[in-house]
Amino acid sequence: MATSVKQMLEAANAAVPKITPAQAKEMIAKGNTLVVDVRDGAEVAASGKAAGAVHVSRGLLEFKADPELPTHDKNFARDKNVILYCGSGGRAALAGKMLKDLGYEKVFNMGGFKDWADSGGAVEK
């Protein structure tokens, strides 16, 4: 039986805790935290990204996050907190569920970039 996007989002939101930008800032301040912008390159180019965040489009995330692949990005480590965001939170939730499936345990969805920027979060162009 086919799965709908709505069902996929429900499963992702159940598996990946949603956090506020304030909670994200606290986690970042404590260290051992990776912030990942999963938006497309054009979105990042237009608005910038959270300061210190790594940009990996959602479509490439598996290839950057899996340490067994030659395309692995060394920023990704399973012992880190991983905070994801996108335009509004949907792609971040789906990406977070995928990271959990890859063995990442401490994965969080911060929602949308606008939430970060509106909260006074530092942005880099």
Query: Residue 50: which H helix or E strand, with range?
Result: strand 49-50
Task: Assign 3-state DSSP to the chain and report helix, strand, coil percentages, each to 5.
Answer: 45, 20, 40
Q: What are the residues whose beta carbons fall under 8 Å from the beta carbon of 68, sequence distance 6 or more?
A: none
Q: Which CATH architecture has domain 17-124?
A: 3-Layer(aba) Sandwich (3.40)
The predicted structure's pLDDT at residue 53 = 98
- In tens digits, the chain (125 residues) has pLDDT values of 889 999 999 999 999 999 999 999 999 999 999 999 999 999 999 999 999 999 999 999 999 999 999 999 999 999 999 999 999 999 999 999 999 999 999 999 999 999 999 999 999 98
Question: How high is the pLDDT of residue 5?
Answer: 94
pTM of the model: 0.96
> Can you give the pLDDT at residue 2?
87
Asked if residue 81 lies in contact with residue 104, where contact means CB atoms within 8 angstroms, the answer is no
How far apart, in whole angstroms, are the C-alpha atoms of residue 86 and residue 78? Answer: 21
CA-to-CA distance for 103 and 1, rounded, in angstroms? 26
> In the chain, what are the domain boundaries?
17-124
